[in-house]
Structure 1
Amino acid sequence: MKFLLALASVAFPTVHAAKEVFAHMIVGNLPSFTLSDWESDIKLAQEASIDAFVLNIGAKDESNANSLDLAFQAANSAGFKLFFSFDYAAQGAWPKDQVIALLEQFGNDPAYFKHDGERPFVSTFEGPDSAADWTEIKQATNAFFIPDWSSRNPTDAIGLAGGVADGLFSFDSWPTGNENATTALDQPFVEALGEEKLYMMPVSPWFYTNLPGLGKNWMWRGDQLWETRWDNVMEVQPDFVQILTWNDFGESHYIGPVHENQLELFDVFEAPINYVRNYTHDGWRKLLPFQIELYKTGQVPAEINESVMAYYRSAPALACPSGGTTGNRNKDFGETEVAPETLVEDAVFFNALLTSDEGVTVEVSIGGEAQTTSFTGFPEAGQGTPGIYTGSVPFGDKTGEVKVTITRSDQVIGTAEGGKPISTECENDIQNWNAVAI
């Protein structure tokens, strides 16, 4: 793939709002989170150049009050921002008086994210049947409202309740076949919103879920997804980007750290294996400051901190039984089920941020067996220019620790290592379709 760099020869669309990048956080996963946990995650988000956490809250979650108090305390101390995404699907619709009460309680808090510094930013997960409530909610709170009503087509969604939404957020960030994601996921929103309404675009690194208690067991293609969706961002130039997600462990698309006190859902929802424990995704944050600055400014940063990240699945696709996981969702959602192994490659993928690839060597070691390889994806301006370079190597039947090393003139300039080793051993005789990102 080619990362689109801002050069004179590249024309980007004009936008009409300050660009911001948010990360979706499932508050329902955090009842055991302490103040220091919130402080730690906020610090990591700031280091990754994320502007705010989007706090997904369920209507009947009794842990909300304590979690929100801790979250805003930590955010105020760190100078970080938060805003609400009212979840209308997980625990039913939110009563509008409760929405108003929460926005009145927190909307004027210094840590609450305001659109253009004035209106409290609010989103949802679904809830189009409650669209009419938002006329009164907006009047009472002056909310700036960008919901996710992805269960409706964008043209219908933006017209609900007389056009009450100020824009739309899409939750559709994953390809349904064995091809890479494209802006076809986003164009219906861009076209429906036109010049008057704003678009919040989703970016996600992965998707795999196996939670029988929720009737969920499928995966979508994740190979090259993270880098491709940031390419898509540079093409679309949305008003906002929302990363899916910071901590949705149940669907394996987290970029935040794995905390043991967030993993109760695997017991509650009867997962056959805990497919997140020891599966770090920290690597997907490594290049975010560059990706975010490029999106916001259209300019390659003057200073580049050269580094490399890598990701891979921890077992060959056919080493373990599939666990009943389907590739794609199912026919009830208009998707054709396929064998999951047809959507993935047994490979180590790597992304390197470089000032230039001149004199650079890539070495991928698996189980101590090293091989030298080359980049296959380059910045839009081509080889020898600053940006993100990409590539992959198949791991075949190799097992053991994974390490990717980038050198220039025999000097190491970046390494990615320390993730779960590749193995053919199968926990509970089930394939884990999650990835490791280092």
Structure 2
Amino acid sequence: MGGFRFKLSAFLLISFSLHIYAIKEVFAHVIVGNLRTFNFTDWVSDIRIAQSSKIDGFVLNIAAHDPSNEHSLDLAFEAASAVGNFKLLFSFDYRAQGPWSRDAVTELLRKYTRHPAYFKHDGKRPFVSTFEGAECAEDWPAIKAATNAFFVPDWSSVSAAHAVKLAGGVVDGLFSFKAWPSGRENMTTDMDDTFRAALGARRVYMMPVSPWFYTNLPGFGGKNWMWRGDGLWDRRWRQVIKIQPDFVQILTWNDFGESHYIGPIPEKALGLFQVANAPINYAQGVTHDGWRKFLPYYIEVYKTGKAPQQVDENVYAYYRTTPAYACPNGGTSGGSAAHGESVMPPEHLVDDNVFFSTLLNTDHGVTITVRIGDNEQTGVFTEFPAAGRGTPGVYTGSVPFAGRTGDVVVAVLRGSKVISRIGGGKPIANICENGTQNWNAVAI
């Protein structure tokens, strides 16, 4: 009998440990250097907005040698505690201002990982990530020994198979920064599958999700390219739900310079466009709020593994505000030679479409209309929930600009009843800002 109790206790302990290990979390990547003007109230506001979208926490990207780091981090942790039920973790950026020293990393981890808001993977080990830094892999055995860190870096500049072997296999998992497709191809899970195969069953995988990418910052090493974002956001969440990774990281909350922010756009956080000699401020007035709208649904399905049988029906849409050939392309390339890709003119990479996604209990009897200026088109769904047409979930499609300009209004009707209507985003126009194309997109 005593042996049975021992076996049962051991089974329960193993089951409990596996349950903790299998908990899924969704984080959003935050560039702390973009928020050096933030005060406590600003941090609270952003955290509450993220929390309302069912995001579990922020991954705080911090650059080496940035004197504003600790002030910003103090405010972030204070705000997370004030809001409650929101976690923070570090991503040490080894590229923005050079590599971190081992001692500096250790010191910051010792200071902040004691905070109740710091995310612990198993309730004990502080989760720590990086942006690159594979060349400093040998620092991490000592850092882990000093801090008990659960180490899941982004070392995407080397192969996943190589990354898991560095410093004697120091990683506890890997995060991939490969969140965008190459060329006109749609995003696949090929890279995710490569990472998971290299990691095996003992290490965790943090999967990236992003809605867009466009950067034109000449002062930051001549950064000036875009990757295809048409249909990317919803497609990527479908892939998350299929793959069921251990963790998800959204790229990003506030990287305005790369146009993949899903958070609000505070005017005082846009100074980088001047610092980096950008030809235009391509984030100002270009809201991405629409990309947060279905996050509660997607995150619930990811975490539970099943779609709810009843949803709050709604719609969002996204589009670029200038036809591709209306303005000079600003020297932007479609794809990045710096990332070893073949490049093409950006005009060839994207479609002049208004993309729409609607969350429905069923598409039976549903019509979707897209008005651009005074011209209205009827949309057609081209992607459906995994269970098929007529079932609850996200239905997506698009309509072309076809030379139309003006305000964009998208409406979803069932019969003659309007289910949802959106508008108010920046209009489509043949207007060139400073003689340059803005390849960013509005999401409403």
TM-score range, shorter chain: over 0.9
**Residues of 1 paired with 2:435 and 2:42: CA distance?**
34
2:309–2:392 contact (8 Å) kept in structure 1? no
Q: Which amino acid aligns with 1:218?
A: W
**In structure 2, what is the equivalent of residue 430 of structure 1?**
436
Alignment of 1:336-415 (within 5 A): 336-415=342-421
Q: Deviations over 1:95-123 (max 9, x none)?
A: 11111111111102111111022211110
CA distance in 2, matches of 1:391, 1:144: 41
Q: Which of 164, 168, 175 is 1:162 aligned to?
A: 168
CA contact under 8 A between 1:21 and 1:50: conserved in structure 2? yes
Cα RMSD (Å) = 1.3
8 Å CA contact retained: 1:106, 1:112: yes
Measured in 2, the distance between the counterparts of 1:40 and 1:424 equals 35
Task: Please point out which of 217, 232, 236 is paired with 2:239.
Answer: 232
Residue in structure 2 matched with residue 100 of structure 1 by the alignment: 106
1:75 match: 80
Q: Could you tell me whether the CA contact under 8 Å between 1:221 and 1:343 is conserved in 2?
A: yes
SS in 2 for 1:132: helix
Matches within 5 A, 1:3-402: 17-79=22-84, 80-214=86-220, 215-330=222-337, 332-402=338-408
1:357-377 per-position Cα deviation (integer Å, ceiling 9, x unaligned): 111110111113222222121
Structure-2 separation of matches of 1:117 and 1:352: 38
- What letter matches 1:229 in structure 2? R
* Aligned-pair CA distance for 1:329: 0.5
In structure 2, how many angstroms separate the alpha carbons of the residues matched to 1:422 and 1:272?
20
SS at match of 1:228: helix
Q: What amino acid does structure 2 have at the position aligned with 1:250?
A: G
CA contact (8 A) 1:327 1:343 kept: yes
- Amino acid of the structure 1 residue aligned with 2:305: G
In 2, are the aligned partners of 1:126 and 1:150 still within 8 Å (CA)?
A: yes
Distance in 2 (alpha carbons) for counterparts of 1:97 and 1:30: 25
Give distance in 1, aligned partners of 2:166 and 2:331.
Answer: 38
User: 3-state DSSP class of the match of 2:355?
Assistant: strand
Q: Which amino acid aligns with 2:317?
A: A
| C-alpha contact 1:173 1:185 (8 A) present in aligned 2 | no
Between the aligned partners of 2:426 and 2:403, the Cα distance in structure 1 is 16
Runs (5+) with no aligned partner, structure 2:
1-18
- Is 2:308–2:392's contact at 8 Å kept on the other side of the alignment? no
SS of the residue 2:109 aligns to: helix
Which amino acid in 1 is paired with 2:25?
E
TM-score, normalised to structure 2's length?
A: 0.94
Q: For 2:66 and 2:294, how far apart are their aligned partners in 1? A: 34
Gapped regions of structure 1 (runs ≥ 5):
1-13
- Equivalent AA in structure 1 for residue 250 of structure 2: I
Structure 1 window deviating more from structure 2 (131-140 vs 317-326): it is 131-140
Residue-pair matches, total:
424
What is the one-letter code of the residue matched to 1:25?
A: V
The residue that corresponds to 1:5 in the other structure is none
Q: Residue deviations 1:234-274, cap 9 Å, x none? A: 22211111000000011000000111011000000000000
- 1:406-427 CA distances to partner (integer Å, 9 max, x unpaired)? 1113222212211100000101
Q: Distance in 1 between matches of 2:72 and 2:421?
A: 36
Offset at 1:185?
2.3
Q: State the alpha-carbon separation in 2 of the partners of residues 109 and 386 from structure 1.
A: 41
Aligned to 1:4: none
Conserved in 1, the CA contact under 8 Å of 2:20 and 2:122?
Answer: no
Local SS of the residue matching 2:287: coil
Asked whether the 8 Å contact 2:27–2:249 carries over to 1, the reply is yes
Following superposition, the deviation at residue 393 of structure 1 comes to 0.3
Deviation at 1:303, TM superposition (A): 4.0
**1:245–1:253 contact (8 Å) kept in structure 2:** yes
Secondary structure class of the residue paired with 1:296: helix
**C-alpha displacement at 1:380, in angstroms?**
1.6
Distance 2:344 2:380 in 1: 32
CA distance in 1, matches of 2:105, 2:308: 40
* Structure 1 stretches of 4+ moved >6 Å: none
Partner of 1:3 in structure 2? none
| More deviation, 400-409/314-323 | 400-409
In 1: Cα distance, 2:157 partner to 2:182 partner: 16
Instruction: Name the CA distance, whole Å, in 1 between partners of 2:310 and 2:77.
Output: 33
Q: What's the CA shift for 1:179?
A: 1.5
Give me the TM-score of the superposition, normalised by structure 1: 0.95
Rounded to whole Å, the distance in 2 between the matches of 1:41 and 1:411 is: 35
